[in-house]
Chain A
Amino acid sequence: MENKAPSRFTTIFRSGRHSLPVILGIFILYPFFAGDYYIDIAFFFGIYALLGLSLNLVLGEVGLFDLGHAGFYAIGAYTTAILNTQFGIPVLLLLPVSALAAALFAFIVCSPIIHLRGDYLCIVTIGMGEIIRLALINNPFDLTGGPNGVFGIDFPGFGTLFVIDSSIKFYFFIWLVVGLTAAGLLRLQKSRIGRAWNYIREDETAAGAAGINVRSHKLLSFVLGAAIAGAAGNIYAVKLMGVSPESFTFWESCLMFCIVLIGGMGSVPGVLIGAAFVSLFPEIFRPFAMYRMLVFGTVMILMMMFRPGGAWPRKRGESAFSPLPGKARQSDA
């Protein structure tokens, strides 16, 4: 994929180290000045950022064509809803549990199909996503509440000591999780696992011949991606205090796909920008009702035309090893 030298813009911004604190400042102050409605928009922006980061592991890093990622998102949300409403398990404990449930499901379902390539894998993931959604609607064993979904989920918190129930608390909760996930992914990108994923994306056969266990690394990316999507499902379910099948359609998977592509494959800041576009755009243009989706579709086409590498493409180069100790990295070329 064409990777032109990063444009003048990204280099200026990258070098300006002072920019990071500015962003943090705005993020921290924003909820205290905006009304609840705008805090909630930022909350759902956070949810889509988390979902974008989770799909980025599978699609951005390893180049696996996954159009059914909303299935893992649904599993996380329903695991939380069912276990909380029926067994009263505290929701904060269910965050890791729903991530595990989605990861386990991904492992079981993806193992037999991980060898598929390109479009064949794509249709299987679509099928998987639809199977999950339809199973939720058909209410097996009377667990998922069918089309009505499951409602009445408690708020996360430590007993009555500290309960996350207001928009501001949810805002900081989601963005704390997004921050941790992003930090984790940036570290993974610079580790041998992250590089192994990129080798597989570039040329699967060559990666195998270079000594990389292609199958296990693909599976790892699906399992990790599913876990993060499961966690996002947990936080989403808790915020809406309930879940229903309408929120986990094939269109949600397409939105996640767009976030990674429009933002930039394998680029954490890019995914955040992609998530901003996908979540803020419809809300800002809500008043235009019918016409906003026309503009949304057009912008998607234009983005791919002018920035096929994404809004903020991943910068390759020696920076990939900069944090390592030892000799100065300046190339003497």
Chain B
Amino acid sequence: MPEPSPQKDAPVILETRAITKIFGGLTAVSNFDLSVHAGEISSLIGPNGAGKTTVFNAVTGIYRPEEGRILFNGADITGNAPHRIVARGIARTFQNIRLFAAMTCLENVMAGRHCRTSAGLWASLFQTAGQKKEEARAVEIAEERIRQVGLWKARNDLAKNIAYGSRRMLEIARALATDPTLLVLDEPSSGLNPRETEDLMDFLKDLIHREKVTILLIEHDMNMVMGISDWVTVMDGGQKIAEGTPTEIYSNPRVIEAYLGAADDEEN
């Protein structure tokens, strides 16, 4: 069972107020509230098509919600461009991995350093002292992140040539390279074998303690959700049907009926 969550006293860093997203007649998400507290691992679960990824895409600026507000550390980031949201400190990974295939792993992680560096055209063209120092620093940080996810040996291989599990970790490394305060992971364990999922859980728990980072993740793997989440929010049909600690959720009838009920006859 997870330690007592630092849930209620920590401040809310991410809050969505009644956000609604409609795709040509289909209401994918309808006035959905979510609040994530600093320093916790918060999970968003629900059956397929519940609108989880749509919420993620609204939070990270890929879609603009038709109604509702998204606040990050109190600031309204509704509809901001993705790169401005990353600059504010929200980094994300994708459900189906999106890496820069024909570039090396190190270059992929270096992408994260982009918003933390500032060399302009002039500095880059004339390689000013500042630019060189900044580049060297960026490479060092990227290399730390790659070691952190255990891909140091593959840093000069092309992203498309490395194993599937490594690609997941590389995408996380890229997100971490932006020094985020909120890490948004979209089904990070999908496609991983049980041992890799265990490693991922340990990695995330360790991350919470070592760095001041909050994690919001979409997950289907129940023992991962129950294993590391401090708070769980359940969606179905684009609406929130329940939220609470993992233990509360595990025994909540509506959740079971809407979601876990179907899971009963599934062999876990």
Contacts and interface: CB of A to CB of B under 8 A. Distances in A.
B1 interface: no
Nearest to A215: B81
B86 interface: yes
Contacts of A188: 121, 124-125
Interface string B109-128: 01111111101110111010
B101 interface: yes
Contact of A220 (B91, B99, B115, B121): B121
Contacts of A298: none
Interface string A316-328: 1110110011100
Interface in A188-219: 188, 191-196, 198-199, 202-203, 205-215
B100 interface: yes
A3 interface: yes
Contacts of A209: 60, 62, 82, 86, 91-92, 94, 98
A193 B124 contact: yes
Contacts of A3: 102, 158
Contacts of B103: 198-199, 202, 316
B124 A192 contact: yes
Interface residues of A, number: 39
The interface residues of chain B, by DSSP majority, are classed as helix
A316 B107 contact: yes
B117 A192 contact: yes
Given A211-B112, A316-B103, A205 B124 contact: no
A324 B100 contact: no
B94 A331 contact: no
A139 to B, nearest CB: 36
Q: How large is the interface on B (under 10, 10 to 19, 20 to 34, 35 or more residues)?
A: 35 or more
A316 B102 contact: yes
Given A192-B119, A209-B62, A211-B87, A331 B98 contact: no
Contact of B107 (A191, A215, A320, A331): A320
A196 B117 CA distance: 12
Interface string B70-101: 00000000000111001100011010001111
Interface stretch (B133-141, B238-246, B253-261): B133-141
A184 interface: yes
A22 interface: no
Residue in A196, A210, A318 with the greatest tally of chain B CB atoms within 10 Å: A210
A187 interface: yes
Interface string A284-326: 0000000000000000000000000000000011101100111
Given A187-B124, A208-B81, A318-B156, A198 B100 contact: yes
Given A203-B101, A208-B82, A220-B121, 19 more contacts: A188-B121, A191-B119, A192-B113, A193-B119, A193-B124, A194-B124, A198-B103, A199-B111, A206-B111, A208-B61, A208-B81, A210-B86, A211-B83, A211-B116, A214-B83, A316-B104, A316-B158, A324-B139, A326-B139
Interface of B: 60-62, 81-83, 86-87, 91-92, 94, 98-104, 106-107, 110-117, 119-121, 123-125, 127, 131-132, 135-136, 138-140, 153-156, 158, 174-175, 178
10 contacts: A187-B124, A187-B127, A188-B121, A192-B110, A203-B101, A206-B100, A210-B112, A211-B178, A316-B107, A318-B156
* List of 7 A-B pairs having minimum Cβ-Cβ separation, nearest first: A191-B124, A211-B115, A211-B86, A202-B100, A206-B98, A208-B82, A210-B111
